[in-house]
Amino acid sequence: MRKFVLLVVTICATGVVLAGSLVALVPSAGELASSVHAQAQEIDLAALDDFAVRSRVYASDGSLLATLHGPENREPVPLSRVPQPVIDAILAVEDANFYRHNGVDFRAIGRALSENVAAGGVEQGGSTITQQLVKNALLRDSSRDLDRKTKEIPLALRLEQQLSKDEILEKYLNAVYFGSGAYGVQAAAETYWGVDVEQLGYAEGALLAALISNPVQYDPIRHPERAYEQRRAALERLVSLGTISQEDATRYGSAPLPVDRCSTGTPRPAGCRDEIELPPPDDYFVENVKQQLLDDPRLGATRDERIERVFGGGLRIYTTLDPRMQFAAELAHAQGVPKNDKGVTAAMVTVENSTGAVRALVGGPGYDSYKYDIATHPPGQPTGSAFKVFTLLTALEQGNQPNDTIGGGGAFKCPGCSKNPYVVSGAGGTLTSVTARSSNGAFVRLAQVLGIPNVVETARKLGVTSELPPVPALTLGPREITPLEMASAVSAIPNSGVRMPPYFIERVEDRDGKVLLEHESAGEQAVSERSACYARDILQEVVKSGTGTRARLSRQPAGGKTGTAEENFDAWFVGFTPYFTTAVWMGNPDQDISMANLGGVANFGGTYPAMLWRAFNEAVHADRPVGTFPPCPKPDRAGRPVVGRGDNALNGVRIGPDGKPIFGTVPGSGTSRSTTTTTTTTPSSSSTSSPPATTSPEPGPPPGNGPPPSTPGPSGG
């Protein structure tokens, strides 16, 4: 009895809806035309394209790095790219009379009424593809009531007057939902088969046609039996229309269904073909690109607007990443970090000296397991002696030269420090020799002679944003700085003192090719060309004969600075060639873990980080011409004790009433230096001569492929 009542109610309700629809739809031709003009003015065709389109991220060589999309994954394609079997199948199921009606199919409406009555409910609506497009793109209303129909039908009739059938079909095929987040036939082809839409035939087209009415219930991965039956029904519909034979339908119906989503990266899921390039999973570089776009007000006044633009605006995002260099970085990272149970990993970033373009980035052990980007996210990691680069540049900026001398360690005043005086050891010598040996004592003295605030100012000019308290230990690198900032800062040295701010994005275009954002070169002369040149020669000595010998390259000139933080918690090598500057950090990013025994050796900046840096740069420079650096200006005087804008007495120099230095004893070196004795020194822009030192450093071995030595490198490295 209940079923009978339900049937009667359904028939009556359906009849009322149909009758109302027919009243609205079947007046005389003149009345219908009048209704169209009254209810549907000229349609803004741009509204039909106002749907989310995924954005694409490209590497510097044009290869695809990533696709960015929200809930809607869509890539519009022209109708000419859609195979006829796909068109045939979708038209057979959704609107067989598409090319014969004028936007509304009254026969289909009648057939829907019959089906609804037989089913005991509203199962079909009789809408044409034109009506579906209007509903989804213009009305955005999925209800099944008379009010929507009275709005939908006039708009469908009007749309048929403004667009051709092929234009309507193309827009529909790019807008319709096929499940699994795939909107449009291209995204569906990628999602279910891992191919471009051109590769689809009748078997695939029939499944897509089946999915349109209920993408969830007929999902081939979750509900293969239902999907199989619906695909078979679509193929039988093609047979009834005479499009394919029964034999063809049987063959297509036996084709295997998709068993996994194919729109993810490597490894490619089983059953997915490899005709198209699928984007890899998100990585550290792509995440940086996304966050920069989401923070850029040029893409929208609010963050919500920017999210909509980035993930649904169809942007084409061209980046600086060099895939070949990225591969070399990942390989060097994988092979250069010894297996350990300490949680020790590495991060590295490479910038192009002349432009600031970020060419390679490894932010940690792997984005899939550790999403925090050690290479770029502040506050960074303690730099150890790598920070001495800023002190060295400050000395050169204040008029000192590579063969000028600085005393060694001792006891230094440290107001407000837990230990006062601050005691540090390390022999003195020339700026070249104390840098090559990475003498802590000499650099603590040097920073105070120059004025520690001046060292901070140099670091700021080179792009360091971290907090840098002006304490004596600052030059030894206790403060955190990111590898990206370190690479960018040091890159000014081989670039004649010009710092090019690091950047990831070359330009961004909208879906129509209009340029929305474009990188503009913004180099600044951070230090003088003279200072940068002298620093470059000094830092090459670090690689030739100092703490960084394991970074020595076979074909390219190279310079850099090692760094090891307190108790071997952090180890660095920041080095440059004529082309690129790369910062390598190694340690445990989550807690302080000593690397005094890592892979059987004590890990300093001059061991594993330098070796990792070398492996990467050997690969990157293998097919590049041997670079050269321009010669530095010859020193205009003989070497002398360093003079600075701080406490010159710490280096045995008094300032006379006329403001000129009066040279005397150099504390810490055990040697008396006077204007008379220093004039006998042979001038040299890269001199490594030094006064007698209190310790004799053990230089590292020449670079090679064997394991690092078991003995630690020189102090401070």
> What is the DSSP track for 415-457?
TT-SSSSEEE----EEHHHHHHHT-HHHHHHHHHHH-HHHHHH
In this structure, CATH architecture of domain 330-637: 3-Layer(aba) Sandwich (3.40)
Pick the residue with more confidence: 8 or 592?
592
* Residue showing tokens 């490295």: 717
Instruction: Report pLDDT for 141.
Output: 60
Q: What is the mean pLDDT of residues 509-529?
A: 94
Binned at pLDDT 50, 70 and 90, residue 48 comes out as: confident
Inter-axis angle of helices 84-94 and 224-240, to 10 degrees? Answer: 90
* For residue 9, pLDDT beyond 60: no
For residues 573-578, average pLDDT? 98
Rounded mean pLDDT of the chain?
85
Band (pLDDT 50/70/90 cuts) for residue 265 is: low
Mean pLDDT check: name the lowest of 111-115, 249-253, 577-581, 592-596: 111-115
**In the prediction, which pLDDT does 354 show?**
97
- Write out the CATH class of domain 2-39+71-253: mainly alpha
314 neighbors 54 (Cβ within 8 angstroms): yes
pLDDT at 46: 82
Q: Which residues on neighbouring strands pair with residue 357, listed in sequence order?
A: 503
Per-residue confidence band for 183, with pLDDT thresholds at 50, 70 and 90: very high
In this structure, of 188-202, 251-265, 589-603, the range with the lowest mean pLDDT score is 251-265
Of the chain, the percentage scoring pLDDT greater than 90 comes to: 68
Q: Look up residue 311 and give its amino acid.
A: F
Distance CA 292, CA 284 (A): 12
Average pLDDT over residues 444-462: 98
Lowest mean pLDDT, pick from 37-51, 208-222, 470-484: 37-51
Taking the CA of residue 649 as centre, how many other CA atoms within 13 Å lie in the half-sphere pointing to its CB? 2
Contact, 355 vs 389, CB < 8 A?
A: no
Task: Give the pLDDT score at 50.
Answer: 81
Short-list 232, 166, 185, 179, CA closest to 82? 185
Give the pLDDT confidence of 411-452 residue by residue, as tens digits.
998 877 778 899 999 999 999 999 999 999 999 999 999 999
Residue 5 scores a pLDDT above 50: no
* Each residue's pLDDT tens digit, 663-708: 865 444 433 333 323 322 333 333 333 322 222 233 333 333 333 3
Task: Give the pLDDT of residue 414.
Answer: 84
Work out the number of other CB atoms within 10 angstroms of the CB of residue 227: 21
Cβ neighbours around 81 below 10 Å, total: 14
Per-residue pLDDT at 264: 58
Domain(s) of CATH 3.40.710.10: residues in the chain: 330-637
More confidently predicted of 561 and 262: 561
More confident position, 493 or 266 = 493
What mean pLDDT do residues 150-162 have? Answer: 88
Task: Give mean pLDDT, residues 280-298.
Answer: 90
Question: Which range is least confidently modeled, 19-28, 78-87, 601-610?
Answer: 19-28
Could you tell me if 574 and 581 are in contact, meaning their C-beta atoms sit under 8 angstroms apart? yes
Number of residues written out for the chain: 717
pLDDT of residue 41: 72
Digit-coded pLDDT (tens) for 398-407: 999 999 999 9
How do the residues of the chain divide into helix, strand and coil, expressed in percent and rounded to 5?
A: 40, 15, 45
Q: How confident is the model at residue 613 (pLDDT cuts 50, 70, 90)?
A: very high
Lowest mean pLDDT among 93-102, 201-210, 414-423: 414-423
Closest C-alpha to 355, from 494, 478, 500: 500
Confidence band for 44, pLDDT divided at 50, 70 and 90:
confident
State mean pLDDT over 52-62: 94
If one compares 119 and 662, the residue with the highest pLDDT of the two is: 662
Looking at the chain, the domain(s) classified CATH 1.10.3810.10 span 2-39+71-253
